Amino acid sequence: MGLRRFVASGDLTSTTESSSIRNYGGIVLLIATLMLFLYRRNLQSVNILFVLLTALWLSIRLLSKTTLFTKNERDLTTPSRKRYAKLLSLLLLGFVVFILISATLFLNLSQQVGGEAGEYESSNYGDEAFKNLIPTSVSSENSSFFATLANYMVGDSQRSPDTVLPTKEFVLEPLDLDEISVTWFGHSTLLIRSNNVTILTDPLFGEGNTDPLFFGPTPFPFKYNYALEDLPPIDYVLISHDHYDHLDMGTVKELKDSKFYVPLGVKAHLLRWGIPGENIQEFDWYDEMEISTVLDIALTPAQHFSGRSLFDSDATLWGSWVINLNNQSLFFSGDSGYTEEFVEIGERYGPFDIAFLESGQYNLAWQDIHMFPAEVVQAGIDLNASTILPIHNSKYELSLHPWKEPLEEVSAEGKGRNLSVATPMIGETFILGDSIPNDAWWANVSDATPSILKENFLVGMMIPPLAIVGIIWMFTGRLSQLNNETKESVSKLDGEE
Which pLDDT score, from 0 to 100, does residue 66 have?
A: 86
For residue 157, the domain's CATH number is 3.60.15.10
- pLDDT at position 9 over 70: no
% residues pLDDT > 90 (the chain): 56
Same domain? 175 vs 312? yes
Separation CA 60–CA 64 (nearest Å): 6
DSSP symbol at 164 = P
157-196 pLDDT, tens digit per residue, is 788 888 899 999 999 989 998 999 999 999 999 999 999 9
Domain membership of residue 28 (yes or no) is yes
Is pLDDT larger for residue 451 or for residue 335?
335
Average pLDDT in the chain: 88
Number of DSSP helices (H) and strands (E) in the chain, helices first? 11, 16
Query: Is residue 43 located within the same domain as residue 160?
Result: no
161 touches 403 (CB < 8 A): yes
For 156, the domain range is 145-444
- 4 pLDDT tier (thresholds 50, 70, 90): very low
Predicted confidence band of residue 6 (pLDDT cuts 50, 70, 90): very low
As a residue count, the chain comes to 497
Let me know whether 71 and 184 are in one domain: no
Instruction: Find the mean pLDDT for residues 433-446.
Output: 91
Total-model pTM: 0.85
User: Residue 389 pairs with which residues in a beta bridge?
Assistant: 356
- With the CA atoms of 433, 435, 437 and 439 taken in that order, what torsion angle do they form, in degrees rounded to the nearest 10? 150
Quote the pLDDT of residue 381.
Answer: 98
118 lies in some domain = no
Does residue 125 lie in a domain region? no
Read off the pLDDT of residues 197-243 as tens digits, 9 standing for 90 and up.
Answer: 999 999 999 777 667 666 678 899 999 999 999 999 999 999 999 99
Average pLDDT of the segment spanning 89-116: 87
Give the tens place of pLDDT for each residue, 419-439: 999 999 999 999 999 999 999
259 and 202 share one domain? yes
**How far is Cα 68 from Cα 77, in angstroms, rounded to an integer?**
13
Looking at the fold, whether 359 and 480 belong to one and the same domain comes out as no
Q: Taking 80 as the threshold, does the pLDDT of residue 492 lie above it?
A: no
Same domain, 91 and 195: no
Q: How far is residue 44 from each of residues 38, 50, 146, 157, 447, measured CA to CA in Å?
A: 6, 10, 18, 11, 19
pLDDT tens per residue across span 242-277 = 999 999 999 999 999 999 999 999 999 999 999 999
- For residues 131 and 109, the model is more confident at 131
Write the CA distances from 455 to 42, 45, 65, 205, 343, integer angstroms: 11, 18, 43, 37, 49
Residue 473 lies in a domain: yes
Predicted confidence band of residue 294 (pLDDT cuts 50, 70, 90)? very high
CB 255 within 8 A of CB 237: yes
Note whether 439 and 461 are same-domain residues. Answer: no
Region of 263 (left: φ > 0; alpha: ψ -120 to 50; beta: rest) is beta
In the predicted model, is pLDDT for residue 11 greater than 60? no
Of 401, 424, 444, the position where a domain reaches its end is: 444
Does residue 117 fall inside a structural domain?
Answer: no
- 334 CB-contact burial (10 Å; exposed 0-12 / middle 13-18 / buried 19+): buried
The pLDDT confidence band at residue 393, using thresholds 50, 70 and 90, is: very high
pLDDT for the residue numbered 195: 94
In a domain, 112, yes or no: no
- Cis status, amide bond into 351, omega within 30 of 0: yes
How many domains in the chain? 2
